[in-house]
Amino acid sequence: MSKKPSAIADTKAESAVKATDYALAPINAALSSTQRIELYRTMIRIRRFEERSLRAYQGKNPSGGTNIGGFLHLYIGQEAVAVGCCSLMGKNDHVITAYRDHGHAIAVGMDTKPLMAELYGKITGCSKGKGGSMHYFAPDKNFWGGHGIVGGQVPLGTGLAYALKYQGKKGAAMAFMGDGAVNQGAVHEAYNLASLWNLPVVFVIENNGYSMGTSQARSSAGQLAKRAEGYDMAWGQCDGHDVYEVRALMDKHLTLAREQSRPSTVEIDTYRYRGHSVADPDNTYRTKAEIEEYRNKKDPIQVSLHKLLAEGVLTEASADKIDAEARAEAESAADFADASPYPTPDDIQKDVYWESDHPAERKSEGRLFFD
Amino acid sequence: MPQITYREAIRHALAEELTRDPNVVVMGEEVAQFNGAYKVTDGLLATFGPTRIVDTPISEAGFIGLGVGASMLGIRPVMELMFWSFYSVAFDQILNNAANVRYMSGGQINCPIVIRGPANGGTSVGATHSHTPENVLANHPGVKVVVPATAYDAKGLLKSAIRDNDPVFFLENTILYGDKGEVPEAEYVIPLGKADVKRVGTDLTIVTYGRCVIHSLKAAEVLAKDHGISVEVVDLRTIRPLDFDTVLASVKKTNRVLIVEEQKPFASVGTQLAYMIQREAFDDLDGPIHRLATIDAPAIYSPPVETEQLPNPGRVIKAVLAAMA
């Protein structure tokens, strides 16, 4: 890190010091007890939501059909990353991510009922049953998806930052990607544009060690975040199992974006307990022992719970109550999804064109649709 | 009425819309300091400055994707592709992101982006630089596709495209950039999806668009003079949305159809038109629907041979005579 400027140059060294208690970092020390509990609550709400969605995926609906089709990329094990990052959002900060997007959606404040309904393909879903698991969106919460093609969302996130700068708004875009995405050309094009044009974007690599079933060692040369140096960007790396550590690092990077309009890259080490998607066999590329190791020693929810108990912010009883509420919320989301209607065939051609959805304001003529 | 070039007409449309709407940004390779690879954007940097007229690196996936992202937050980017042929390296951004984001978000997000640039053969630049992807683009619900043939149409249609709330792909032609046409000084717009009968006739309808309109008009002159055949030339101007009513009215009048397009034949725009014409005007046809397209091979380099690979007035005349036989 001799080359790069920035407030962030020391983060790698800092993260190597395991004794550091990130709860004492200024951005975390300033948290009230309620805010600390909310971080924990959001993580456990994500966990319970996804566990419930997995049960729905594996089960049948009352008419014997599938509740949830296609892919279901679960975020279980990675919750501290989205929650830590999104907890730092101000009103001009924006988020975009890839297809493992349930955690980010809940972390930005989306209601879990329409999220579950989207998985079920119902009209009450956040995308009216048209996007599915990989394509959650909430522009009212500055959440721009939910994108299915690896790395394809990263230029879009750079464009969000471009718009912020063009409009003179002091904010930052967070463009999340997995560790597999760093080998996609679109990501590198976005890095170059962001640095060249001084755009306020933080590229967040959620490194769960595997791009689908291919380990980092078999897919990527060098340290992932360090590639930023080739684009004259600052970078940082941290352990993503402690929500406080995620916040401590991301706060610096977001500040760099907001205050100096400089992009940067962060690599957050994390782990997913489930397969790449639910349907994928999980035993060809990693061992059960490895998964258990993470589950037992680095689970972000357990890490957070222990800290909150130690801080005296939570008691066993209050923690149990939060968990029970999260389970009830997930159950209620599933009930809502189950009871909701599907879109009708008439809905298929809605939401295709702005103009066809606003016929009174349509300026063009001619046929928009064909049969 | 002043005569200006197709190139100037596009430039005037850009300048007027840049003046009208502060959210309009022109972006692309060599558009600013270099004044445009084809000088379409000549002088815009001097007038509007580097915040509005932005040079990009050679990085189509990156800057087109950036434009799509910026458009979601209300910017109206007008992105220049030096050649539409380069869409292939930005395909994911154009046809996964721009085309689908409204649908996949359940209608929550608009993508008011314009991507413009030339899409044509005939300049001896070989197969990689001679693609005409209007059929590929128009195959994607959610997008609009415009292919203007004249200066007047180019200006009026581009202004509509920039004001449109959906992604609009605007396909120009390097060979037409220098062609002059009458363009009024007063402001006007042409709605997307409105065809234009460029020549009235009674014996046969040519349905066409882009530079093939010019070829067809030249051929129609010869056919009238030398063969006594009265050809009606319908210029689609916009591929999607499609003004099929104008096509249908002409076919019902002439009862014979030739489609002329600078497209590879398989699954072209003409293929779709032929399906629709037979479906909706079967009983009005006095003969099979004919189609003249590019000879089915990658674009050949050899200059005189490429001219023959593409539709040209001579090939149009032959095709009309065959259709009338």
Q: What per-residue string of b and e applies to B131-155 under the rule 16 or more CB within 10 Å gives b?
A: bbbbbbbbbbbbbbbbbbbbbbbbb
Which residue from A222, A251, A221 is spatially nearest to A236, judged by alpha carbons?
A: A251
Residue after which a domain boundary falls, among B130, B159, B182: B182
List chain A residues with CB under 8 Å of B74.
Answer: 163, 167
**Nearest by CB: A364 against B59, B142, B193:** B193
Q: What is the pLDDT of residues A184-235, one digit of tens each?
A: 999 999 999 999 999 999 999 999 999 999 999 999 999 999 999 999 999 9
Q: Is the dihedral of CA A298, A319, A95, A272 positive or negative?
A: positive
Say how far apart CA B312 and CA B250 lie, in whole Å: 22
List chain A residues with CB under 8 Å of B66.
Answer: 155-156, 158-159, 162, 190, 193
Q: Is position B115 within any domain? A: yes
**Nearest by CB: B61 against A139, A155, A367:** A155
Chain mean pLDDT for chain B? 98
Residue A228 has which token pair? 């930023």
**Is there a single domain that holds both residue B166 and residue B203?**
no
Residue A248: enclosing H or E segment and its boundaries?
helix A243-260
Residue B10 has pLDDT above 70, yes or no: yes
Structural domain span for residue B276: 196-324
d(CA A339, nearest CA chain B) in Å: 20
Structural domain span for residue A302: 11-361
The total number of structural domains that make up chain A: 1
Q: Is position A122 within any domain? A: yes
Q: Where are the beta strands (DSSP E) in chain A?
A: 94-97, 143-146, 173-178, 201-207, 210-211, 214-215, 234-239, 264-269
Q: Is the dihedral of CA B216, B218, B222, B228 positive or negative?
A: positive
Alpha carbon of B234 to those of B160, B197, B220, B267: distances in Å? 20, 4, 12, 21
Q: Is position A105 within any domain? A: yes
Spot the catalytic one: B60, B172, B232, B261. Answer: B60
**Is there a single domain that holds both residue B153 and residue B214?**
no
SS3 B305: helix
Contact by Cβ (8 Å): B147, B209: yes
**Is there a single domain that holds both residue B31 and residue B172?**
yes
Contact by Cβ (8 Å): A95, A156: no
Q: Is position A104 within any domain? A: yes
Q: Report yes or no: A371 at the B interface, CB cutoff 8 Å.
A: no
**Nearest by CB: B109 against A137, A186, A196:** A137
Give B180-233 as a DSSP string.
Answer: EEE--SS-----TT--EEEE--SSEEEEE-THHHHHHHHHHHHHHHHH---EEE
Q: For testing the chain B interface, which of A123, A197, A361, A365 should be mutated: the one with the most B CBs within 10 Å?
A: A365
CATH number at residue A57: 3.40.50.970
Angle in degrees, CA A340, A341, A345, rounded to 5 = 155
d(CA B225, nearest CA chain A) in Å: 34
CB atoms within 10 A of CB B78: 26
Say how far apart CA B93 and CA B79 lie, in whole Å: 13
Q: What is the mean pLDDT of residues B86-92?
A: 97
Q: Quick one: pLDDT at residue A120?
A: 97
Q: What is the pLDDT of residues A323-353, one digit of tens each?
A: 999 999 999 999 999 999 999 999 999 999 9
**Is there a single domain that holds both residue B32 and residue B173?**
yes
Q: What is the pLDDT of residues B186-220, one digit of tens each?
A: 999 999 999 999 999 999 999 999 999 999 999 99
Tell me the ipTM for this assembly. Answer: 0.96
Say how far apart CA B319 and CA B325 lie, in whole Å: 10
Contact by Cβ (8 Å): B233, B197: yes
Say how far apart CA B203 and CA B228 lie, in whole Å: 10
CATH number at residue B231: 3.40.50.920
**CA distance between the termini of chain B:** 41
Burial (CB < 10 A; 0-12, 13-18, 19+), residue A360, is exposed
The total number of structural domains that make up chain B: 2
Contact B70 A139 (CB under 8 A): no
**Is there a single domain that holds both residue B152 and residue B293?**
no
Say how far apart CA B132 and CA B121 lie, in whole Å: 8
Q: Is position B187 within any domain? A: no
CATH number at residue B39: 3.40.50.970
Percent of chain A having pLDDT more than 90?
Answer: 89
Contact by Cβ (8 Å): B181, B3: yes
Residues of chain A with pLDDT under 70: 1-20
Contacts of B131 (CB under 8 A, 6+ apart): B83, B84, B85, B87, B88, B119, B299
Contact A370 B69 (CB under 8 A): no
Residue B56 has pLDDT above 80, yes or no: yes
Q: Quick one: pLDDT at residue A16?
A: 36
